[in-house]
């Protein structure tokens, strides 16, 4: 359960980073009406947080290695190994995304060019998630070699990405509100509409997980081969308790978001209370996703010996 | 909420300060640092080999051998670099044919580097401080050790006589010649004792004592069945509890011979064994599982079929046997004492030994008994052998005679492709042995009764099993005037783990040894800190085979005769000293050094033995050539057991009272009438099935329902190799339990379970398997006793925590497989 | 380690006469001895596959088995389509000109992806060294004209090796035996003469009896 913690941290962080980046991009796209300056002001802090977190994730992945000092060797087999490709896209995403962040910070290039850079980074980020998925589609590991793997990885990407952005937005706004003497209605409006979209998107992603996971577990349980039986036992019996905890956390997160959404529908009464919801939802759901990822690794069982 | 006025650097339009940016990255960095503390799953623990550093790079390959008591003997070619053994290679002479085979070492011998360089090596002489078994030692010099031992020997011999000094059973170095540990009477220790008036000797052995005693009455003495290479001529091969593929695993020994013989002949093999052994899954066309200790009942069931369906080889029985039927009983015997009467219910018990009766006792379905009896009777020639398992029971003597009886009923004795029902023989080169001078002590102790002899040795007589050294054959000792003159006061252990671990009832043994006024001194000569070493008083560190020059005598290899020159591959480690030199040191203190050494070093003796051997084996090369050669081989003739008797039973009459095979043994009959017997022991003249101690049907089964044997395991040879980590990894110590019995107890594969009876308890993992009969469990024998606290539960899985010291009826030996236990989840 | 063919083979393979394997593991120990492997790393392992059942008659007190068991000694099969080579991100895992699949310890970063992928358990991680380790077909012995240590050790002579084409000509091309995986996955260069109770991969009635030992 705990022996692949570095990979749990890396994959969760990488997926959350790409998801956050994409969601921020969507906010820029759909929030164009509010004006570039407002959008930038609202979303840049979240953007700048992605980089360090991603670096942390990459460093975490290195602690999985037996000889991390040669980690760069992992780029040497791009023509055959999805792991090589994953590392390549990971580094490219960090580089291009970083280039975008720096250019955003220092206002280099033109807004259009910066936008193109961001778009490229987003595409590379999605390629990273796809590579990550393919790493686990090993014909010798039936528990992982399933359509459920890419579905769940991408669901995690957008789920954590959107909730992380949501939490970042409200925290940023909260901090600013306390510092500033003047209310910033334009920002607040962007944030509110973003949060609405985020909540709906997150609930949708959770819905996908709620449908996919039982289907996947059912198939695993009935397949009959020794490897799938071992994986099934790990998930249902040995670590069944953790699976329940994961479900509870995710369910609580959904509930919170639902409540939040309904409150948003009426004009918000207490700003404070509302700020807690996206943050709490993020914490609950990422805890659940971490457990889910640990269960993913715990379900490892190989065909043959 | 009032805005806080904080003196801060300029805030740009994004609301994020440079300071904050730096803070984030700092957190990220620290977080990465934290994450790096979580390592990933570890595999590959470094071995704890205590190898010395290499000196130089000189490389050589030196012939050595593995000298343990497995029944085989394998050469090992040790690769030495800079004075350190770096790799073991197998014999590189010979081929894959019977009689000329390459002797490939088994899994155990291949790991010998882990014995030689084991951190458990005894390094310096030590004497015990504190109580026996406490494990507290003080290092002493060799001189102090020799002086102390010599002084105690002198005193005890003066006060109690030489009979008080006992060289205990030890087969750890059985394969050596000058350094041999077995039989104890042939060891350097014995030679040294014989320089000062001798010592108490033993007869028979933990391996096969019950059959050894029984066969004296049945056949007049040990005959040996045909060698296994002869089974190429067999149509059918029966193996009763004979498991060479787990015990005699040498690739030049019986594993090789049986596999090759079957390949060549395509003969059918039937294995009778409570376990689906590796021999069975490899060779057997049919596996007949039966309850341990009930082979005699199975054979009685066979006999019923053969008698009633007229399938007996009547001609053979009439000509060669005494006592099978009423017409062939010894003169003057009352009626209905023949085996036939026993089977047909005319004997004293009035029970017909029908297949239905036999099936209830053995667990084998009656239809199978009938079918097998018919098949066995009608498949000739039929090789019939037994291993040591069926006879190591509380009714072991009668057990051992059952396959012999079967061989007689089917007329397979003394013919090619047939067998005598005993263990297979092997053809061997008769190398000379290390001369040990004469031992004037007359009383000889049954090997299993040394604990008894500590308690009440003085006065033990022939009915306790004491025999006369002049003739230790069972027939000569049904009434003998010999009496033991002393309790055992001093025990020599050389290459022996029989003190504690291999002897029955470990807890009782420890209790007996704890009284230091009884057995006053125990000297242990070994190269490892064994369990027995832990309970000794003085430890003398021995070298291994690789650290001395010697010869290794062969054991069972079909019809391949061979001898191995085991040269010195490395210098003795630590302060270790070969046993020959140790005994010379003690002899010096006793003033008999010249008598002991005759001026020879160990190597001189090896030269002498080679020259002596060349007198009877002219092909054997002289010393220097033999040394270079490593292993000398010679193809010999197959052994046909009792061929001369079969060819001419008059001229070559057996040494039984009738001169014939005694199915009814008149001497056993005498014993049954005249000896006083322990309660629970029965002596019968016929090979009847006896429901003896802890056999199925024992009322004790209400408390301890499972029969528990201690099969001999691939991980070790008895307890030798028991501290080799590679072997513990390859063959972990687990108790075998049938899936049905495990399910009834909620035990899942790998669960830690407690195996226990009134004598002790073990905790070890369960091997839940289909490969053992229901109602039967097995704890592989020889694991090293490791109690969690003194007198507490054994965590090492040592079988003898559960076994008994109760002697068998007339062998006065070990029924170590007769144990009732219960098993529960721990 | 260069890809150069220091041996004279085009594609090496192992042969197993499964019916004669007694599960003794002399092959495993010989390999560990030659390569100084610690507890926890065994380049050759022996799997036991068992199954069946017992019928008991409680009233008569009898029992009858219908039990099967057999052993399979396996190291690395130096596959035709080695999944370990395919997935290795560093190219440390390579197939040589003689068909031997070996890991270059100077390149390997110990990511253990090959360990995840291989259905024979051949690549094994050394925590002490931080890299993967595996059977290298005793390439050094082969260069000297000697047999691999495991083949030379087997007391029952059930192991053999050689040019895979010749092995297949001599013994057939069966490799799909439980508990081994479907050979279609990685195309192992392995030929087995099955034990009399052997069952086809994926169609077994038994279970792996010693999972912790393989």
pLDDT band of residue B29 (cuts 50, 70, 90) is very low
Q: Determine, for residues B251 and C157 on separate chains, whether the beta-carbon distance falls below 8 Å.
A: yes
How many other CB atoms are found less than 10 A from the CB of residue B612? 14
* Residue B96 in contact with partner chain A when CB distance is under 8 A: no
Q: Determine, for residues C112 and A225 on separate chains, whether the beta-carbon distance falls below 8 Å.
A: no
pLDDT in tens, C145-176: 999 999 999 999 999 999 999 999 999 999 99
Task: Tell whether the model's pLDDT for residue B521 goes beyond 70.
Answer: yes
How many other CB atoms are found less than 10 A from the CB of residue B151? 13
Residue of B nearest to C152 (CA): B90
Residues of A in contact with B35 (CB under 8 A): 5-6, 9, 56, 59-60, 63
DSSP string for residues in B527-564: SB--HHHHT-SEEEEPP-GGGS-EEEE----TTEEEEE
* Residue B96 in contact with partner chain C when CB distance is under 8 A: yes
Beta strand pairing status for B706-709 and B84-90?
A: unpaired
pLDDT band of residue C2 (cuts 50, 70, 90) is very low
Interface list for C 104-133 with B (CB within 8 A): 112, 124-128
Residues of C in contact with A77 (CB under 8 A): 88-91
Residues of C in contact with B775 (CB under 8 A): 63
pLDDT band of residue B285 (cuts 50, 70, 90) is very high
* pLDDT attached to residue A3: 85
Task: Tell whether the model's pLDDT for residue B11 goes beyond 60.
Answer: no
* pLDDT attached to residue B34: 41
Cα–Cα distance between B270 and B266 in angstroms, integer? 13
* pLDDT attached to residue B527: 96
Task: Tell whether the model's pLDDT for residue C77 goes beyond 50.
Answer: yes
Task: Tell whether the model's pLDDT for residue A1 goes beyond 90.
Answer: no
* pLDDT attached to residue B27: 46
List of residues 6+ apart from A147 with CB closer than 8 A: none
What does the longest C-alpha to C-alpha distance in chain C come to?
70
Closest CA to B780 of B709, B728, B729, B723: B709
* Residue C86 in contact with partner chain A when CB distance is under 8 A: yes
Minimal Cβ distance to B16: which of A45, A53, A55: A45
Q: How far apart are the first and last CA of chain C?
A: 27
Minimal Cβ distance to A76: which of C91, C202, C208: C91
Task: Tell whether the model's pLDDT for residue B588 goes beyond 90.
Answer: yes
Dihedral sign from CA coordinates of B202, B203, B205, B206: negative
Q: What is the dihedral of CA B687, B691, B693, B695, to 10 degrees?
A: 110
Cα–Cα distance between B399 and B296 in angstroms, integer? 5
pLDDT in tens, A140-167: 999 999 999 999 999 999 999 999 999 9
Beta strand pairing status for C190-193 and C12-17?
A: parallel
Closest CA to A144 of A29, A63, A230: A230
Residues of B in contact with C112 (CB under 8 A): 40
Q: How far apart are the first and last CA of chain B?
A: 64
Cα–Cα distance between A144 and A137 in angstroms, integer? 6
* Residue B44 in contact with partner chain C when CB distance is under 8 A: yes
Q: Determine, for residues B32 and A6 on separate chains, whether the beta-carbon distance falls below 8 Å.
A: no
Strand partners, B525: B494, B540
CB-CB contact of B488 with B497 (8 Å): no
What number is the average pLDDT over the span B604-624? 97
CB-CB contact of B414 with B643 (8 Å): yes
Task: Tell whether the model's pLDDT for residue B37 goes beyond 60.
Answer: no
SS3 of B241, please?
Answer: coil
pLDDT in tens, B161-214: 999 999 999 999 999 999 999 999 999 999 999 999 999 999 999 999 999 999
Residue of A nearest to B5 (CA): A179
pLDDT in tens, A69-90: 999 999 999 999 999 999 999 9
* pLDDT attached to residue B254: 97
pLDDT band of residue B382 (cuts 50, 70, 90) is very high
Which of B6, B15, B20, B750 should we substitute to test contact with A (largest number of A Cβ atoms within 10 Å)? B15
Cα–Cα distance between B796 and B788 in angstroms, integer? 9
* pLDDT attached to residue C128: 95
* Residue B697 in contact with partner chain C when CB distance is under 8 A: no
Interface list for C 13-72 with B (CB within 8 A): 19-26, 28-30, 32-34, 38-42, 50-54, 56-57, 60-65, 67-70
Q: Determine, for residues B13 and A56 on separate chains, whether the beta-carbon distance falls below 8 Å.
A: no
Q: At what angle do helices A36-62 and B18-35 cross, to 10 degrees?
A: 20
* pLDDT attached to residue B42: 33
pLDDT band of residue B24 (cuts 50, 70, 90) is very low
Taking the CA of residue A49 and the nearest CA in chain B, the distance in Å comes to 7
Residue of B nearest to C125 (CA): B43
* pLDDT attached to residue A261: 76
Minimal Cβ distance to A48: which of B13, B16, B40: B16
* pLDDT attached to residue B32: 40
Minimal Cβ distance to C89: which of A64, A84, A302: A84
Q: Determine, for residues C117 and A77 on separate chains, whether the beta-carbon distance falls below 8 Å.
A: no
Residue C47 backbone class (left: φ over 0; alpha: ψ -120 to 50; beta: rest): beta
Q: Determine, for residues C63 and B774 on separate chains, whether the beta-carbon distance falls below 8 Å.
A: yes
pLDDT in tens, A104-143: 888 888 888 998 999 999 999 999 999 999 999 999 999 9
Residues of B in contact with A41 (CB under 8 A): 13-15
Q: Which helix (H) or strand (E) holds B421?
A: none
* Residue A84 in contact with partner chain C when CB distance is under 8 A: yes
The whole-chain average pLDDT of chain A stands at: 90
Q: Which helix (H) or strand (E) holds B797?
A: none
Tokens standing for residue B624: 């220097």
Cα–Cα distance between A87 and A93 in angstroms, integer? 10
pLDDT band of residue B20 (cuts 50, 70, 90) is very low
pLDDT in tens, C10-30: 999 999 999 999 999 999 999
pLDDT in tens, C114-136: 999 999 999 999 999 999 999 99
Residue of C nearest to B741 (CA): C54
**Burial level of B466, CB count in 10 A (0-12/13-18/19+)?**
buried
Closest CA to C146 of B307, B90, A101, B798: B90
Query: So what's the ipTM on this one?
Result: 0.97
pLDDT band of residue B12 (cuts 50, 70, 90) is very low
Task: Tell whether the model's pLDDT for residue A194 goes beyond 90.
Answer: no
Beta strand pairing status for B443-446 and B776-778?
A: unpaired
pLDDT band of residue A33 (cuts 50, 70, 90) is confident
Q: What is the dihedral of CA A102, A108, A110, A116, to 10 degrees?
A: -30
- For chain A, give the percent of residues with pLDDT over 90: 60
Taking the CA of residue A153 and the nearest CA in chain C, the distance in Å comes to 19
Q: Determine, for residues B15 and A41 on separate chains, whether the beta-carbon distance falls below 8 Å.
A: yes
Tokens standing for residue C141: 């012995």
* Residue C208 in contact with partner chain A when CB distance is under 8 A: yes
Task: Tell whether the model's pLDDT for residue B17 goes beyond 70.
Answer: no
Taking the CA of residue C141 and the nearest CA in chain A, the distance in Å comes to 27
Residues of A in contact with B29 (CB under 8 A): 56
What number is the average pLDDT over the span B713-741? 98
Q: Determine, for residues B249 and C155 on separate chains, whether the beta-carbon distance falls below 8 Å.
A: yes
* pLDDT attached to residue C5: 64
DSSP string for residues in B139-183: E--HHHHHHHHHHHHHHHHHHH-GGGEEE----TTTT-STT--SS
List of residues 6+ apart from A111 with CB closer than 8 A: A36
pLDDT band of residue B7 (cuts 50, 70, 90) is very low
* pLDDT attached to residue B38: 35
Residues of A in contact with C131 (CB under 8 A): 66-67
For residue B386, which phi and psi values (nearest 5 degrees)? -130, 150
CB-CB contact of B82 with B56 (8 Å): yes
Cα–Cα distance between B449 and B202 in angstroms, integer? 9
pLDDT in tens, A244-291: 898 899 889 888 888 887 776 665 545 556 678 889 999 999 999 999
Interface of A with B (CB under 8 A): 2-6, 9, 37, 40-41, 44-45, 48-49, 52-53, 55-56, 59-60, 62-64, 105, 172, 175-176, 178-181
Minimal Cβ distance to A45: which of B14, B25, B32: B14
Residues of B in contact with C69 (CB under 8 A): 276, 281, 770-771
Angle at B661 between CA B659 and CA B663, to 5 degrees: 130
CB-CB contact of A193 with A186 (8 Å): no
* pLDDT attached to residue B47: 58
SS3 of C173, please?
Answer: coil
Taking the CA of residue B119 and the nearest CA in chain C, the distance in Å comes to 15
pLDDT in tens, B435-456: 999 999 999 999 999 999 999 9
Closest CA to B396 of B813, B825, B110, B823: B813
The Cα-based distances of A19 to A113, A165, B46 in angstroms read: 22, 9, 44
Q: How many CA atoms lie within 13 A of A137 on its CB side?
A: 16
Beta strand pairing status for B443-446 and B201-203?
A: parallel
What number is the average pLDDT over the span B731-738? 98
* pLDDT attached to residue B35: 36
The whole-chain average pLDDT of chain B stands at: 94
According to DSSP, residue B483 is labeled: B
CB-CB contact of C16 with C158 (8 Å): yes
What number is the average pLDDT over the span B364-389? 98
Minimal Cβ distance to B714: which of C24, C39, C156: C24
Residues of B in contact with C155 (CB under 8 A): 104-106, 249-252, 255-256
Among A232-246, B442-456, B770-784, name the one with the lowest average pLDDT: A232-246
The alpha carbon of residue A288 and the mean position of all alpha carbons in its chain are separated, in whole angstroms, by 12
pLDDT band of residue A206 (cuts 50, 70, 90) is confident
pLDDT in tens, B41-94: 333 333 568 888 999 999 999 999 999 999 999 999 999 999 999 999 999 999
* Residue A71 in contact with partner chain C when CB distance is under 8 A: yes
* Residue A88 in contact with partner chain C when CB distance is under 8 A: no
- Residue with more model confidence, A268 or A59: A59
């Amino acid at each position: 359960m705990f022996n692949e913690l570095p990979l749990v941290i890396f994959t969760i962080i990488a997926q959350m980073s790409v998801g956050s980046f994409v969601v921020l991009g969507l906010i820029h796209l759909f929030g164009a009406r509010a004006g570039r300056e407002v959008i930038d002001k609202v979303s840049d802090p979240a953007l700048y947080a992605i980089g360090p977190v991603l670096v942390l994730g990459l460093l975490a992945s290195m602690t999985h290695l037996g000889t991390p000092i040669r980690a760069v060797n992992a780029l040497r087999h791009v023509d055959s190994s999805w792991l090589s490709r994953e590392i390549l896209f990971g580094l490219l995403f960090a580089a291009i995304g970083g280039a975008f962040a720096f250019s955003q910070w220092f206002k280099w290039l033109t807004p259009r060019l910066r936008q193109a850079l961001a778009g490229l980074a987003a595409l590379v980020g999605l390629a990273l998630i796809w590579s990550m998925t393919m790493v686990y589609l090993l014909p010798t590991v039936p528990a992982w070699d399933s359509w459920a793997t890419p579905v769940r990885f991408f669901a995690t990407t957008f789920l954590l990405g959107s909730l992380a952005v949501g939490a970042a937005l409200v925290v940023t706004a909260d901090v600013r509100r306390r510092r500033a003497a003047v209310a910033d209605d334009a920002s607040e409006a962007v944030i509110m509409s973003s949060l609405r979209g985020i909540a709906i998107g997150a609930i949708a992603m959770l819905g996908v997980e709620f449908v996919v996971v039982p289907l996947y577990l059912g198939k695993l349980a009935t397949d009959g081969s020794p490897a799938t039986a071992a994986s099934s036992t790990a998930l249902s019996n040995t670590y069944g308790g953790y699976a329940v905890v994961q479900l509870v956390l995710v369910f609580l997160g959904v509930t919170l978001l639902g409540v939040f959404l309904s409150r948003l529908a009426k004009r918000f009464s207490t700003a404070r209370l509302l700020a807690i919801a996206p943050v709490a939802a993020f914490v609950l759901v990422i805890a659940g996703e971490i457990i889910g990822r640990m269960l993913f690794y715990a379900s490892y069982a190989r065909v043959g010996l | 909420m009032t805005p806080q006025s904080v003196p801060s650097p300029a805030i740009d339009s994004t609301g994020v300060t440079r300071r904050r940016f730096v803070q984030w990255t700092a957190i990220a960095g620290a977080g990465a640092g934290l994450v790096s503390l979580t390592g990933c799953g570890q595999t590959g623990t470094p071995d704890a080999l205590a190898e010395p550093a290499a000196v130089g790079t000189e490389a050589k390959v030196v012939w050595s051998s593995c000298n343990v008591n497995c029944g085989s003997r394998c050469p090992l070619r040790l690769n030495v670099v800079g004075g350190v053994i770096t790799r073991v290679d197998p014999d590189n002479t010979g081929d894959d044919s019977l009689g000329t085979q390459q002797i490939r070492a088994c899994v155990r011998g291949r790991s010998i580097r882990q014995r030689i360089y084991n951190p458990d090596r005894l390094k310096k002489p030590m004497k015990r401080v504190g109580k026996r078994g406490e494990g507290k030692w003080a290092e002493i010099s060799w001189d102090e050790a020799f002086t102390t031992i010599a002084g105690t020997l002198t005193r005890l011999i003066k006060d109690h006589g030489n009979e008080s000094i006992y060289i205990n059973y030890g087969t750890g170095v059985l394969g050596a010649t000058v350094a041999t540990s077995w039989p104890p009477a042939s060891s350097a220790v014995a030679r040294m004792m014989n320089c000062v008036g001798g010592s108490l000797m033993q007869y028979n052995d933990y391996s096969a004592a019950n059959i050894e005693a029984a066969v004296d009455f049945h056949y007049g003495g040990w005959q040996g069945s045909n060698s296994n290479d002869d089974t190429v001529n067999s149509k059918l091969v029966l193996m009763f509890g004979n498991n060479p593929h787990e015990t005699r695993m040498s690739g030049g020994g019986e594993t090789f011979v049986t596999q090759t013989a079957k390949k060549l002949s395509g003969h059918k093999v039937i294995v009778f064994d409570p376990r689906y052994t590796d021999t069975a899954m490899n060779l057997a066309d049919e596996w007949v599982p039966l309850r341990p200790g009930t082979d005699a009942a199975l054979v009685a069931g066979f006999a019923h079929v053969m008698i009633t369906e007229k399938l007996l080889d009547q001609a053979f029985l009439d000509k060669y046997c005494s006592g099978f039927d009423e017409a062939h009983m010894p003169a003057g015997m009352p009626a209905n004492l023949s085996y036939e009467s026993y089977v047909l219910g005319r004997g004293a018990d009035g029970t017909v030994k029908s297949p239905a009766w036999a099936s209830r006792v053995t667990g084998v379905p009656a239809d199978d008994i009938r079918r097998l009896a018919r098949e066995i009777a009608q498949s000739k020639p039929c090789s019939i052998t037994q291993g040591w398992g069926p006879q190591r029971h509380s009714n072991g003597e009668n057990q051992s005679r059952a396959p012999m009886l079967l061989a007689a009923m089917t007329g397979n004795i003394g013919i090619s492709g047939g067998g005598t029902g005993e263990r297979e023989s092997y053809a061997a080169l008769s190398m000379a042995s290390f001369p040990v001078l004469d031992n004037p002590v007359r009383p000889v102790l049954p090997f299993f009764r040394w604990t008894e002899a500590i308690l009440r040795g003085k006065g033990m007589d022939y009915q306790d099993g004491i025999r006369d050294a002049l003739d230790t054959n069972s027939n000569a000792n049904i009434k003998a005037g010999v009496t033991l003159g002393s309790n055992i006061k001093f025990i020599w252990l050389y290459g022996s783990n029989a003190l504690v671990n291999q002897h029955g009832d470990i807890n009782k043994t420890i209790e007996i040894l704890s009284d230091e006024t009884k057995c006053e001194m125990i000297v242990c000569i070994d190269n490892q800190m064994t369990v027995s070493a832990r309970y000794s008083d003085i430890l003398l560190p021995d070298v291994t085979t690789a650290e001395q020059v010697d010869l290794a005598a062969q054991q069972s290899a079909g019809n391949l005769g061979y001898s191995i020159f085991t040269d010195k591959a490395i210098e003795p480690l630590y302060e270790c000293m070969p046993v020959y030199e140790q005994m010379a040191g003690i002899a010096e203190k006793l003033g008999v050094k010249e008598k002991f050494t005759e001026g020879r070093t160990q190597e001189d003796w090896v030269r002498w033995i080679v020259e002596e051997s060349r007198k009877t084996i002219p092909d054997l090369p002289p010393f220097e050539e033999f040394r270079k050669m490593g292993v000398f081989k010679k193809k010999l003739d197959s052994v046909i057991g009792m061929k001369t008797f079969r060819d001419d039973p008059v001229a070559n009459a057996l040494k039984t009272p009738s001169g014939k095979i005694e199915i009814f043994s008149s001497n056993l009959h005498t014993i049954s009438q005249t000896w006083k017997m322990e309660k629970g022991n029965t002596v019968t003249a016929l090979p009847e099935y006896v429901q003896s101690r802890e056999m199925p049907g024992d009322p004790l089964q209400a408390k301890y329902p499972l029969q528990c044997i201690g099969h001999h395991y691939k991980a070790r040879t008895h307890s030798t190799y028991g501290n080799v980590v590679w072997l513990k990894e390859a063959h972990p110590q687990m108790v075998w339990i049938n899936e049905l019995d495990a399910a009834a107890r909620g035990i899942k594969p790998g669960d830690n379970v407690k195996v226990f009876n009134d004598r002790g308890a073990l905790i070890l993992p369960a091997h839940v398997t289909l490969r053992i009969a229901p109602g039967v469990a097995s704890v592989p024998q020889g694991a090293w006793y490791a109690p969690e606290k003194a007198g507490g539960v054994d965590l090492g899985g040592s079988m003898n925590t559960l076994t008994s010291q109760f002697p068998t009826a007339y062998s006065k030996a070990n029924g170590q497989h007769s144990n009732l236990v219960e098993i529960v989840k721990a | 380690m260069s890809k150069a063919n220091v041996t004279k083979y085009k594609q090496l393979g192992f042969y197993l006469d499964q019916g004669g394997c007694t599960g003794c593991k002399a092959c495993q120990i010989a390999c560990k001895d030659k390569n100084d492997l610690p507890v926890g790393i065994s380049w050759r392992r022996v799997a036991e596959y068992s199954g069946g059942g017992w019928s008991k008659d409680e009233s008569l007190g009898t029992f009858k088995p219908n039990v099967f068991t057999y052993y399979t000694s396996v190291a690395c099969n130096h596959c035709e389509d080695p999944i370990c080579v395919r997935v290795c991100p560093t190219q440390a895992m390579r197939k040589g000109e003689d068909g031997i699949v070996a890991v270059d310890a100077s390149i390997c970063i110990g990511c253990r992806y090959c360990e995840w992928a291989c259905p024979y358990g051949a690549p094994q991680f050394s925590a002490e060294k931080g890299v993967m380790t595996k059977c290298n077909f005793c390439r050094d012995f082969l260069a000297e004209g000697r047999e691999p240590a495991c083949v030379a050790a087997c007391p029952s002579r059930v192991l053999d090796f050689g040019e895979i084409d010749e092995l297949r000509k001599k013994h057939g091309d069966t490799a799909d035996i439980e508990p081994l995986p479907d050979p279609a996955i990685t195309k192992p260069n392995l030929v087995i003469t099955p034990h009399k109770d052997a069952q086809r991969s994926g169609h077994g009635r038994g279970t792996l009896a010693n999972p912790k030992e393989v």
